Amino acid sequence: MHDLNQSNSWKSLNDHYNEIKNISLNKLFKDDTNRFNNFSLNFNNMLIDYSKNHINKKTLSLFKNLLIEININKKIKKFFDGKKINFTENRAVMHYLLRGSYSKNNKKIYENDVEKSLKKIKKISDKINSQKLLGYSGKKIKNVINIGIGGSNLGPKMACEALKYYSNRKIHLFFISNIDPTNLKETLRNINAEKSIFIISSKSFETIETLTNATIAKKWFLDKSFDKKNLNKHFFSVTANIIKAKKFGINEENIFPFWDWVGGRYSLWSPVGLPISIQIGFNNFNKMLEGAKDMDTHFRIKPFEKNIPIIMACIGIWYNNFHNCETHAIFPYDEYLKLFPSYLQQADMESNGKSITKNNNKTNYETGPIIWGDKGTNGQHAFFQLIHQGTKIIPSDFIGFINSLNKIGKSHEMLLSNLIGQTKALMQGKSEDEVKKTINQEKNNNINIDSIIKSKSFEGNKPSTTILFDKLTPYNLGKLIALYEHKIFVQGCIWNINSYDQWGVELGKELSNEVCENLNSNKTKNNLDSSTNGLINFYKKLSHK
């Protein structure tokens, strides 16, 4: 593909942006009384309302031209056919296979590998949930400790929290990711070795944080159980490197293999999701896979005008590349989804935080936005001030559920009222004339009325997209996650970057190893910069080895 900035469709979008950039959301609604129906979609009780964005029918028409120009249908086909679209690592990207979305090109991989893996996940999940899995002393397993980092932690941890309502409360899950020993130490304080299993989750079985924590956990367990043979009943691994897992001391029967065509941040559907299946039961885990599979089908077959991931991707490009918005906020109005923004940070920023195109050129346009957010309504009492009255435009996704899983009084109605009310307030704002009507001048003799009027007025015109489901279920969570996966894919295609490698995390790892050698040495290498030297020397001065 030629330079994105020089493409005809991109130039047309830029001209169109200059035409409508000063048209407010309020005017767009005033001019189109049917705007909500024109800019919303319903997919199996999942509503996406994108009417509160600075777009019109021409905007979407021009994006459709862009997608035709980059041949998005061919790219989607290559993706689902299992072509090696991760070209820097010469790998296919087939996490959709894990939920049964295969094509004739990779159906055999699903039947030979994935189905076998699912049966193994089901077997161990059923055994733990029925409390038939016993530890070395004959006691029932009650604690499951997952040791992993990045995709081996964020995905399963988020899903376990999101689906906590469906969990087996007799099983306690712990997630160890941080190399900070406090994370592991505090967990080990709360568990009994006889009733605990450890899942070492690392695709390469070489991740330094995971292996360090796994080694400490193994020593702790052996100190408690006194016999290496007991590892066979208490240590499991999810990895693509079976040889290294066995060398660590894990019985091959306890190893859940996964494949190089599964990227870490897209791996919760694989055996990496074993903790999810254990916590909510395999049947519910399978429903999550079904939800994602249905979103896969929607993404593959729906035309542009009806395709939710594609429309969301284009809206994101519109703000990132034309409105010059640097961040994108995610606000789930549900306590169970509190980790979803953190999960999407990795999924999106590790995927599209790239500046080299597939043609090996430096991009001369912006790529992935900064993803952030928090659960509602907490964020309203923290940083919404900046979104409402600050100087930045922050496109936001509001996610909610019509029916609460824990209904008490009218609390849920208040929660949803805040979600809908915030999107309305962001769009509508409040004029100075409206503020004036609310001020009783007689009671405010000691304050500057003009100052109050200015400070209480809201410019509005702030964009948002709302996603509503009937309720939070494993099926709906699967749909939601897959929606964002495909949005990320489409944006990577438009920016012409490789969304499926992550070389950006490697350099820091390499240099931290070099620093670690210096921290543990009596001498410091002379080739280090003065700042690094100074930090190392300060550490040595105050450390108690």
Task: State the DSSP code for 134.
Answer: B
User: What local confidence, expressed as pLDDT, does residue 31 receive?
Assistant: 97
Q: Which residue has the higher pLDDT, 181 or 2?
A: 181
In this predicted structure, the answer to whether residue 445 has a pLDDT above a threshold of 70 is no
Question: Choosing from 161, 194, 209, 350, which is the catalytic residue?
Answer: 350
The one-character DSSP state at 114 is: I
In the predicted model, is pLDDT for residue 521 greater than 70?
Answer: yes
pLDDT (average), residues 210-232: 96
Of the residues 509, 514, 517, 525, which is catalytic? Answer: 509
- pTM, entire model: 0.96
The mean predicted confidence, pLDDT, of the chain is 95
Which residue's entry shows tokens 């733990």?
128
Give residue for tokens 């994602």: 292
- CATH of the domain spanning 95-281: 3.40.50.10490
The pLDDT score that the predictor gives to residue 488 is 98
Residue among 2, 229, 381, 541 flagged as catalytic: 381
| Res 442: pLDDT | 47
d(CA 484, CA 352): 12
The pLDDT value recorded for residue 451 is 87
Whether residue 140 contacts residue 192, with contact meaning beta carbons closer than 8 Å, is answered with no
Could you report the per-residue pLDDT of 288-315, keeping only the tens digit for each? 999 999 999 999 999 999 999 999 999 9
Q: What is the pLDDT of residue 39?
A: 98
Q: How far apart are the first and last CA of the chain?
A: 56
The answer to whether 298 is a known catalytic residue is no
Sign of the torsion angle spanned by Cα atoms 95, 196, 198, 515: positive
CB burial readout 87-99, b (16+ within 10 A) else e? eeeebbbbbbbbb
Specify the range with the lowest mean pLDDT, choosing from 186-190, 434-438, 464-468, 475-479. Answer: 434-438
Q: What angle do CA 190, 191, 192 make, to 5 degrees?
A: 140
Query: Fold identical between 4-69+302-409+468-502 and 95-281?
Result: yes
Amino acid identity at 6: Q
Tell me what pLDDT residue 289 has: 98
State the SS3 of 450-501: HHHHHHHCECCCCCEEEEEECCCCHHHHHHHHHHHHHHHHHHHHHHCCCCCC
Mean pLDDT of 35-54: 97
Per-residue pLDDT band for 456 (boundaries 50, 70, 90) equals very high
350 catalytic residue (yes or no): yes
User: Is the confidence at residue 501, as pLDDT, over 90?
Assistant: yes
Answer whether residue 1 shows pLDDT above 60.
no
Element (H, E) at 143: strand 143-147
Q: What is the pLDDT of residue 545?
A: 63
| Residue extents of the structural domains in the chain | 4-69+302-409+468-502, 95-281, 510-542
At 61-102, the pLDDT tens digits run 999 999 999 999 999 999 999 999 999 999 999 999 999 999
Q: Is 54 a catalytic residue?
A: no
Percentage above 70 pLDDT, the chain: 98
Q: Domain 4-69+302-409+468-502, what fold?
A: Rossmann fold (3.40.50)
